[in-house]
Homo-oligomer: A and B are copies of this chain.
Amino acid sequence: MKSPSSLEFLTEALRRLPGVGPKSAQRMAYHLMQHDRDGAAMLGRALTQAVEHIHHCARCNTFTENEICETCLDSARDASLLCVVETPADQMMIEQTLTYKGLYFVLMGRLSPLDGIGPKDIHLEKLIARATDGYVTEVVLATNFTNEGEATAHYISETLKARGLKVSRLARGVPVGGELEYVDAGTIARAMLDRRST
């Protein structure tokens, strides 16, 4: 006796989600088939659409459905400032502080040699090309204040300073060890105003 093959395929595919083991995958598959077929169909469509439409902004590397994202196309922003963040969620946190009017570069990760995540994985070449476009005069490093985020900031700082750019870092208003996504906007606002050269 075995499961129908399309149920086995679904259970196997659900394991591709981060943090989902065999038991949760089975529980999810049963739940969807038993109680939420509309949800299953909707998630199926959402995945297919996202794979088809989502790619990386040619300028800032964030997710977008266009060649260049809305933020990068916003001519009201200060093109001389480039803020480097780890994720789109971090960028959103900074936007909410209303203290920054420049542009962004989204690494989509952080350096983590132990996990095999090197400069190529955080799109360092793309960042260098972006930061040396002739308009950017200051790069604000807003990676997390974790060990990996600090190491990433240090590495990027050295690389960009070697190319003659001014590089600053969010001030230590952000608690050491803290992740931007979970810090209140007021603290991030203060850190943005107090940013220091590195």
Is A119 an interface residue when CB atoms closer than 8 A count as contact?
no
Residues of B within 8 A of A5 (CB): 65
CB distance from A91 to the nearest CB of B (A): 7
Is A46 an interface residue when CB atoms closer than 8 A count as contact?
yes
Cross-chain contact A40 with B47 (CB below 8 angstroms)? yes
Among B4, B13, B24, B46, point to the contact of A63 (Cβ < 8 A): B4
Is A120 an interface residue when CB atoms closer than 8 A count as contact?
no
Cross-chain contact B39 with A108 (CB below 8 angstroms)? no
* Complex alpha-carbon distance, A9 and B9, angstroms: 23
Counting every copy of the chain, the complex holds 2
* Complex alpha-carbon distance, A110 and B65, angstroms: 45
Cross-chain contact A65 with B19 (CB below 8 angstroms)? no
Q: Looking across the interface, which residue of chain B has its beta carbon closest to that of A69?
A: B4
Interface residue total, chain A, C-beta cutoff 8 A: 57
Cross-chain contact B41 with A48 (CB below 8 angstroms)? yes
Cross-chain contact B92 with A4 (CB below 8 angstroms)? no
Residues of B within 8 A of A33 (CB): 50-51, 54, 63
Among B17, B34, B41, B69, point to the contact of A43 (Cβ < 8 A): B17
**Other A-B pairs beyond A17-B17, A40-B51, A41-B51, 20, CB < 8 Å:** A1-B71, A4-B69, A6-B49, A6-B65, A7-B50, A7-B54, A9-B46, A9-B50, A10-B46, A16-B36, A16-B39, A18-B27, A19-B27, A19-B28, A30-B63, A30-B88, A30-B108, A33-B54, A44-B51, A45-B48
